[in-house]
Chain A
Amino acid sequence: MNLDFTQIVPYIPFMIEGIWVTLQFVLVSILVGFLIGTVLALFKIGNIKPLRWFADAYTSIFRGTPLILQLMIIYFAIPQLTAYDISPFLSAVMAFGLNSSAYVSEIIRAGIQAVDRGQTEAAHALGVPYRQMMIDIILPQALKNILPALMNEFITLTKESAIVSTIGYLDLMRRSQVVGAELFRNFEPLLFVGVLYWSMVMVLTLIGRWVERRLNVGD
């Protein structure tokens, strides 16, 4: 056995900092994904055909190609086509945000459609306009249906985020590789960030359960 964790000790703060770097862009990405995903979901359930087509095509493209390809295209193609030198952070947020909005839109669509039709009818019968009904009546109830799936998406995103290391973004994954290269030992730093990823996922899972409980007050 040739394992020596003492060597990575000086690098621990450097690697732990990666948690924040990773969380930072995952948070921004999930927010972008949630906002765009909500709009796409509303397109999908709405009556305007061109918007419905657009949302379906969008979803199909982003779910039908590898995320790493989308990331590369955004990172390499945008500078080549527009001469705009896009930063790794912005590329990562765009790729993850746009990609996750495709998944999130499906989650939200299903969540909205799972709300009892009677709710819509009751709101209609009271003269509540469509927009207000969506915001105050349907979406809050849909949110309860979709929260577990949404939290799953958040967790998936946190784990998948490791691929941004391929474009040189100094996230948790990348940091373990940097440390590995300096020490000529890869196993220990990899194992260490593995534990960090796992802890992050556990914390997110617990937060998800807590929020879910809070949302269940009416039951």
Chain B
Amino acid sequence: MLVIKVQKLSKTFGDNQVLKDISVEINAGEVVSIIGPSGSGKSTFLRCINLLEKPTEGKIFVAGQDLTAPKVNVTKAREKIGMVFQHFHLFPHLTVLDNLTYAPIKVKQIKKADAEDKGRKLLDRVGLADKEKAYPNSLSGGQKQRVAIARALAMEPDLMLFDEPTSALDPEMVKEVLDVMKDLAHTGMTMLVVTHEMGFAREVADQVLFLDEGRLVETGEPNAFFDKPVSERAQDFLAKIL
């Protein structure tokens, strides 16, 4: 089943065309890694999918709904799309548990007690059951990112977007976050992950998208892509980072 269908997506900031004519299809349960040089438009592509950036041209369907249709309820559509940011963006004035329950209670009108039960289960799942009363600023980077993942999951999204979730972390904390993401991948969550972690991409992803200067230059199954990239651009890029 298709979860995401992107058709001829273009995005322009002023006169800077950042995304050029991108078309992609992603099935339910697929894990897709998006890689490419800095400034190639990876974040912009991801942000278009939950309309944090408004596409200039093209169509985006998520779970069958055309998000680019004129009268679409953007706020409602975003409930089904979880997003994890490089810099976490937890709500600093709320406790960890309140971070998880805020949107379910206020947006989905779930009962507080039910939301808290669910929140505690999620915290347990990301290994932070003992932190529910802590405030975000008292946590390490890796812990913050795990809370951020749990917060997104609390909305029971159909798919999850990750924008360089480990890039702001100290090296020793990368693994704990990647482990949580791997677990999530095994539960069948559809995931789009912008990452520089090639090991993760190779091991977990079903599909790799390689972006360069706003174009989708190459897509492929990870082993094939990393061992025998077809395009010269991808060969250059991999030669530099591996």
> Does A119 count as interface, using CB distance less than 8 angstroms?
yes
- By secondary structure, the A interface counts as helix
> Does A132 count as interface, using CB distance less than 8 angstroms?
yes
**A130 contacts which chain B residues (CB < 8 A)?**
75
**B77 contacts which chain A residues (CB < 8 A)?**
127
* A126, A128, A136, A141: the one within 8 Å of B92 (CB): A141
- What is the CB-to-nearest-CB distance from B132 to chain A, in angstroms, rounded to a whole number? 15
Give the residue name and chain of the A residue nearest to B90 (CB).
A122
> Does B81 count as interface, using CB distance less than 8 angstroms?
yes
Contact A218 B135 (CB under 8 A): yes
> Does B198 count as interface, using CB distance less than 8 angstroms?
no
* CB-based A-B contact count at 8 angstroms: 68
Cα(A2)–Cα(B89), bound, Å: 66
> Does A129 count as interface, using CB distance less than 8 angstroms?
yes
Residues from 136 to 192 in A contacting B, C-beta threshold 8 Å: 136-137, 140-141, 144
* B75, B92, B93, B94: the one within 8 Å of A127 (CB): B75
> Does A125 count as interface, using CB distance less than 8 angstroms?
yes
Cα(A218)–Cα(B77), bound, Å: 31
**A17 contacts which chain B residues (CB < 8 A)?**
none
- Given A127-B79, A127-B103, A218-B136, the answer on whether A122 and B85 have CB atoms closer than 8 Å is yes
Chain B residues close to A by CB (< 8 Å): 50, 52, 75-79, 81-83, 85, 87, 89-94, 102-103, 106-107, 135-137, 151-152, 155
Cα(A62)–Cα(B52), bound, Å: 37
Give the residue name and chain of the B residue nearest to A129 (CB).
B75
List 9 additional A-B contacts (Cβ < 8 Å) besides A126-B155, A128-B75, A144-B93.
Answer: A125-B82, A125-B83, A125-B152, A126-B102, A126-B107, A127-B77, A127-B155, A141-B92, A218-B94
Count the A residues whose beta carbon is within 8 Å of the partner chain — how many? 21
Give the residue name and chain of the B residue nearest to A125 (CB).
B83
- What is the CB-to-nearest-CB distance from A188 to chain B, in angstroms, rounded to a whole number? 49
Contact B85 A126 (CB under 8 A): no
Contact A121 B85 (CB under 8 A): yes
Cα(A137)–Cα(B52), bound, Å: 18
- Given A127-B103, A127-B107, A128-B107, the answer on whether A141 and B93 have CB atoms closer than 8 Å is yes
> Does A118 count as interface, using CB distance less than 8 angstroms?
yes
Contact A219 B103 (CB under 8 A): no
Cα(A136)–Cα(B166), bound, Å: 28
Contact A126 B137 (CB under 8 A): no
- Given A125-B82, A127-B103, the answer on whether A137 and B155 have CB atoms closer than 8 Å is no
**A122 contacts which chain B residues (CB < 8 A)?**
83, 85, 89-91
**B93 contacts which chain A residues (CB < 8 A)?**
140-141, 144, 218
- What is the CB-to-nearest-CB distance from B38 to chain A, in angstroms, rounded to a whole number? 19
**B75 contacts which chain A residues (CB < 8 A)?**
124, 127-130
- What is the CB-to-nearest-CB distance from A187 to chain B, in angstroms, rounded to a whole number? 50
